[in-house]
Structure 1
């Protein structure tokens, strides 16, 4: 079997490094059909697709499986963005369900603790799946928590601790918002090639693709900027080309 990181790296060499955040709100009907349509229409400009918790809840297991199978048919990797954060057994059972539904990776919250995170990563890697952890989110209010000073062995900000844990537990990637390019630069310098940086927040939230890619972002996570545009294919293509520079 081939690992998540290897699969993602392979498709990104031809398709670029844009992950579509296919995160429609509750007013959207026919979520499965629209998601599959997005994959078929935009796949040449994507390396993956991210499905958030609120999008998954209205769908049944057969619908989710069909979405993942469609994505895989076009070579895309699929990420379950559920911010997984619980005791070890719950994490294990949850991730097993996600793998059975066809997901390639899960986004988790490292607040669960280092040992629980290590166990989740080991379990995922045994199944050739990936774990991406939160480090610093893109919303402005993220500063209130991720910038907090904490003291373990030393005083540091919470996102710095989460980065240390990500490296120690050998996660596949971290989420750092495109609205905080200096933090992306910090994480890139400290972690190097040990993990990939995934950045949401380009466009609608004010983040610049060019800026964050220069700062060290490996993959752009883009949702509303593509989905809400009158010509989503054009936007996806432009971002795709930006990541190939």
Structure 2
């Protein structure tokens, strides 16, 4: 697909507010963006296979064609690595120019000092939320990520169940539940951790509507559900939405489409109608 920049696309003002100061926190921003645009679609940018300058141009053109139909933009980690820091910052600025929040999908899970350094670097690049893997736990693990995010108004989204088949080997394993010694599923423990930590979302693949349905009572009214895997991986908005998903992370079905504006508008209508 070859895209040209659409420089006539209107940009909406954020009323003079600056990120990290007095504006609404991430969770409110994406919620209001969703309501204003009548869409629950989060565009997934996984850019590779070209020179950094070409990737930047493609990403900017893609946003020109789709940003009125999405409520946020999620960057894959490979996008940052392939663009480099300077071009990543330019692309997050372009996302913000369209009044949209940026999510970095790092699936971060390390010791606290490393998590803190990585999170700080991402937020300096302009990201407004980060996806983490809860396997490193709270104390000495993810606590600094939450502390930094609360201070700056960013969001933390917890990975609960991935969209690929192999996820059942780890996220779907049976584990003992603390002192009670009663067996439960790993993804249920992760969802409860997300609630306990006052997270801004959990990720559950749209390819697993039965698991979304099981987790919704745990997080309902507290933590929204983000579901990737729509389209190319076999998930669909209708099933995930019926099961309880709040936002739909869609990448290749839009980014590889011949007419991304039309397909993103179609997904937007399906997500919000």
Is TM > 0.5 for Structure 1 vs Structure 2? yes
Structure 2 SS opposite 1:194: coil
2:173 aligned to which of 148, 151, 154: 148
Question: Residues of 2 paired with 1:7 and 1:233: CA distance?
Answer: 23
1:201-228 Cα offsets, whole Å, 9 max, x none, are 1111111101111111010000011112
Question: Residues of 2 paired with 1:161 and 1:28: CA distance?
Answer: 41
| Alignment: residue pair count | 245
Aligned twin of 1:37 = 61
1:225 aligned to which of 232, 243, 253: 253
Aligned twin of 2:138 = 114
1:6-57 Cα offsets, whole Å, 9 max, x none, are 1111111122111111113335761111111111211110111111111111
Question: Residues of 1 paired with 2:224 and 2:71: CA distance?
Answer: 14
Asked if the contact 2:48–2:79 (Cα under 8 Å) also holds between the matched residues in 1, the reply is: yes
- Could you list the runs of 5+ residues in structure 1 that have no partner in the other structure? none
Aligned twin of 2:113 = 89
CA drift of 1:114 comes to: 3.0
Asked if the contact 1:106–1:130 (Cα under 8 Å) also holds between the matched residues in 2, the reply is: yes
The 1:28–1:203 alpha-carbon spacing in structure 2 relative to 1, beyond 3 Å, is: farther
Aligned twin of 1:184 = 212
Aligned twin of 1:3 = 25
Structure 2 SS opposite 1:163: helix
Rg larger in structure:
2
1:60 aligns with 2:84: yes
- Could you list the runs of 5+ residues in structure 2 that have no partner in the other structure? 1-21
Structure 1 SS opposite 2:163: coil
Aligned twin of 1:13 = 35
Structure 2 SS opposite 1:58: helix
Asked if the contact 1:117–1:169 (Cα under 8 Å) also holds between the matched residues in 2, the reply is: no
- 1:160-239 matches, within 5 Å, as 160-239=188-267
Structure 2 SS opposite 1:107: strand
Aligned twin of 1:72 = 96
1:128-163 Cα offsets, whole Å, 9 max, x none, are 001111100000111111111112414211101111
2:151 aligned to which of 126, 138, 144: 126
1:22 aligned to which of 45, 54, 63: 45
Question: Residues of 1 paired with 2:130 and 2:41: CA distance?
Answer: 17
